[in-house]
Structure 1
Amino acid sequence: MNTLKIGDKVPDFTVNDQDGNAVSLSDFSGKKLVVFFYPKASTPGCTAEACNLRDNYAELQSKGFELLGVSADSEKRQTNFKNKYEFPFPLLADENKEVIEAFGVWGEKKFMGRTYDGIHRKTFLVNEKGVVEHVIDKVKTKAHAAQILELIQ
């Protein structure tokens, strides 16, 4: 797993969001971006994380950040997730793992004695020039916005 680090330029990407609209990194040129990766839509940890970001979305926006959620779920699954919890930010349906691999968050995981490949829950704060400024490796799903706000104060 070759995860992007602070100072790395994020490679451009174009992936569909939950509604089938193409979303590219270049769409956010000149804006600060929070890109959060989660393993699977509508699972308890992912729901807690995304809802926490939703509940603090206005504050994150007031600090100049746009948000982008990414998982390998289908557009339909992302649409259901977004609509059920009324997320105000797009969710990318990265089924081909283009963004997931560009950020280097796909790799070996262990759970209950089983080893498998999957998405590592990580968040990247990207500046206006598309360069990684912070990486959050240990995401606190129920207090994720506080982790982000602490880094940018």
Structure 2
Amino acid sequence: MELIKLGSTAPNFSLEDNHDKIINLSNYRGKKVLLSWHPLAWTPVCTDQMRSLENNWDNLQSLNTIAFGLSVDAQPCKKAWATAIVLNNLSILSDFWPHGKVTQDYGLFIQNDGISERANIIIDENGIVKWVKVYPMSQLPDINEVFQALSNI
């Protein structure tokens, strides 16, 4: 499994979110999309990562960007977690079944652990991968770095 390459077309997907909606990546053409992978719900750094996206929702919108959190957790788990950590705007997507399929398509699945890397991928308005960053598991992604990348796309 190889990490997705800059300049490649982002693989389309249809995944259920914490609001019981099916999110199709292709429906967001015309907007930049931030896909923010977190290894597992209910863990401290993952919680901070998703709260950072929620807390910066308006800033992301001002950059014509929609953000999605992704992990291999089941949708009922994602829904309960989103309620517990008060995610009102952010959609967090369940890549549960087939287990980690979308995560594998983007080259972020850790086979031995059955989870994803911690990563951010930015897709431009035409569906092209423009920025990829994989973080150490214990590191909270820097939201300002994401804003800098978005402003350069």
Aligned alpha-carbon RMSD (Å): 1.7
Q: Secondary structure at the match of 1:133?
A: strand
Aligned equivalents of 1:73 and 1:116: distance in 2?
13
> 2:53 touches 2:90 (CA, 8 Å); kept in 1?
no
Please, which of 128, 132, 138 is the counterpart of residue 129 of structure 2?
A: 132
1:90-125 deviations in whole A, cap 9, x for unaligned? 1111102221111110025xxxxxx64431111100
Q: Does 1:12 align with 2:9?
A: no
**Paired position in structure 1 for 2:109:** 106
Gaps of 5+ in 2: none
Q: Secondary structure at the match of 2:35?
A: strand
Change (3 A) 1:62 1:8: same
**Paired position in structure 2 for 1:111:** none
Instruction: Calculate the TM-score normalised by the size of structure 2.
Output: 0.87
> 1:75 touches 1:93 (CA, 8 Å); kept in 2?
yes
Corresponding pairs, count: 146
* Sequence identity (%): 23
Q: Secondary structure at the match of 1:137?
A: strand
> 1:35 touches 1:125 (CA, 8 Å); kept in 2?
yes
Moved over 6 A (4+): none
Gaps of 5+ in 1: 109-114
Instruction: Calculate the TM-score normalised by the size of structure 1.
Output: 0.87
